[in-house]
Amino acid sequence: MAAANLQSAEADAATRTNIERDIDSTGEATASLTPELVIALCGPIGSPLHTAAEQIAHALSDFGYRTEKVRLSEFIRLNAEDGAIDLTSEFTRIESLIRVGDELRRTHKNDILAKLAIAKIGADRQKAFGEFKDTANDASAPEETQIRRHRICHVIDSIKNSSELDLLRLVYGDALFAIGVFSPLEVRQRNLERPGALLPDEIEQLIDMDSGEEFSHGQSVRDTFPRCDFFLRVDHSEVAPSESKAVAQLVEKLRRFFNLIFRTSIETPSPEETAMYSAASAARNSACISRQVGAAVTTTSGELLAVGWNDVPRSGGGLYGKPPLDTKFRGLPIASAEERCFAQTGAACHNDREKKAIAAKIVESLVAAGMLPEEHQQKATQTILDDSRVKDLIEFSRAVHAEMHAILGASRVAGDRIIGGKLYVTTYPCHSCARHVVAAGISEVHYIEPYRKSLATRLHTDALTESSEAGEKVRLLQFDGIAPRRFIELFEGGSRKKDGVLNLTKRLEAAPSTRVSLRAIPRLEEVVVAEITSKQLRFPELIQQENVHAQNPNSQPSA
């Protein structure tokens, strides 16, 4: 017996040696690239997120993909205490789901719902393709088990907190695409006003909660949405008879998006995508310590006139960081002439400093008038800064805003060609810039990031609108298309010809241009599952295992 075991061990060792000699590390690295996709949807309540998930599944079926939907609201229900989800009405159901989701994030960290989604994705892969084995020679494995056959996409509906997006990107890298689905406010309200569903005041309350709760573990679509890779603006309501128009918009835009990912057709950037990429690139010039904002002005037809960014103006024209416009100032040594906030003693924001001075002055006046005890002075000052409109003041910044910088540049080089043109800006314009945008003759403003401090439409109801049906007003539109962060990657075509003619891969054979190695992903998923299990949280596949174990006590549920 011992001799037989020795011979078997020697044979195994010899086999391993032969395998090791035959290993092609480059081939193995290539074979580990997975066609798996993970799509995370994000959008304000009332936007057609569920319809988008359905249309994604239809679009990917043309590429031979199976699509699995991951509903984060289902994880919230599974992990809610008995009676926590109030089903009395549609409003109480949604409101209690938000509240329970917030509590899960508060208790288990802000990315806990993303961890539950990751656990499900790993379980689905194991069910469909077997347990992952991190061994060499995957390229020589049976064809049906090879990684390149993993044509599966998980659609997560939907993420609401930026920590959820951070974790998904950390685990799945470029295989993850975050898609922002957006409809204008009046369309979202119509979607939520389905007969007998929600009352107008309930709709307003839910939209407010969904947009941005004032604590880190809350829903904050306003902060998460701008970080998406692709933006889908749907201008039509899902409520009949407009539903077919909403679906048609989604179908057409998703078709183009997946053609870009799989490179199965020639797709070039739209004028809007090119202009927004220019705006985002310009933002990187800014040294503002509050935020970097970029803008681009185009003609009506999309011809780029000028770009701009937010920064402090310098004598001689233009902004610090670039040579002055007046040639007599260009000989100044840039380093010694630097006067932006970051270079000054204390590196303080002048706008914040002035707001603090205003709050302190208000409190001093109340104390002097005997309306506030002196011992409460410091607390009162901080309360004004935290919980009043004083914190939203923007009037004391030294910086020229990006929109103004771009408009000034366009006016200088193009004169009245700016009239009727379009402005692309990375952040929704503030009310200070809004009046200049109107006065310059701009017809449309496209933006990515919302800006909660802006009073643009409130102060200029006669001239500005967020409605897609503008009439004579300047339209403020959510950007639609490939986000600047993935612009270069997705529009990089490479050589697409063979023997001098166009040669594109067929859809059923095409692999995503953004494939990543599967080597690390299952290991990261295992760690996530271990954490979830240790916290006694539940996801559907774990419950199925529990049910099997209940029916057969001899079976052992896995982690």
| Ordered per-residue pLDDT tens for the chain, 559 residues | 556 565 666 656 555 555 555 677 787 788 889 999 999 999 999 999 999 999 999 999 999 999 999 999 999 999 999 989 999 999 999 999 999 999 999 999 999 999 999 999 999 998 888 887 765 555 566 666 688 889 999 999 989 999 999 999 999 999 999 999 999 888 888 889 876 678 889 998 998 888 765 567 767 888 899 999 999 999 888 765 556 888 999 999 999 999 999 999 999 999 999 999 999 999 999 998 888 999 999 999 999 999 999 999 988 888 988 888 877 766 665 545 687 878 777 788 878 888 888 888 998 999 999 998 988 899 988 888 887 677 777 788 888 999 999 999 999 999 999 999 999 999 999 988 999 999 999 999 999 998 777 888 889 999 999 887 767 899 999 999 999 999 999 999 877 888 888 888 999 999 999 889 998 999 999 999 999 999 999 877 655 555 444 445 554 444 3
CA atoms within 13 A on the CB side of 439: 11
Q: How many CA atoms lie within 13 A of 238 on its CB side?
A: 18
Q: How far is the C-alpha of 558 from the C-alpha of 389, rounded, in Å?
A: 53
Does this model's pTM top 0.75? yes
What DSSP string runs through 50-78?
HHHHHHHHHHHHTTT-EEEEEEHHHHHHH
Asked if 37 and 59 touch (Cβ cutoff 8 Å), the reply is: no
- 40 contact partners, CB below 8 Å, separation of at least 6: 156, 158, 159, 164, 165, 168, 176, 177, 178, 179
Return the pLDDT at 525: 95
Confirm if 187 and 243 have CB atoms less than 8 A apart: no
Q: What local confidence, expressed as pLDDT, does residue 555 receive?
A: 45
Cβ neighbour number for residue 53 with a 10 Å cutoff: 21
* Whole-number pLDDT of residue 149: 85
**Residue 289: what are its φ and ψ, rounded to 5°?**
-85, -5
309, 285 contact by CB (below 8 A): yes
Whether the CB-CB separation of 268 and 481 falls below 8 Å is answered with: no
pLDDT of residue 451: 78
Q: Six-digit token pair at 461? A: 């109801």
Polymer length in residues for the chain = 559
pLDDT at site 84: 92
Nearest to 111 by CA among 528, 459, 548: 528
CA 164 to each of CA 110, 483, 486: distance values in angstroms, whole numbers, following the listed order: 7, 19, 19
C-alpha to C-alpha distance for 424 and 444, rounded to whole angstroms: 8
At residue 155, φ and ψ (nearest 5 deg) are -110, 115
> What count of other Cβ atoms lies within 10 Å of the Cβ of residue 207?
17
Provide the terminal-to-terminal Cα distance of the chain, rounded to the nearest Å. Answer: 37
Q: Cβ distance 415 to 408 under 8 Å?
A: no
Other beta carbons within 10 angstroms of residue 541's beta carbon come to 17
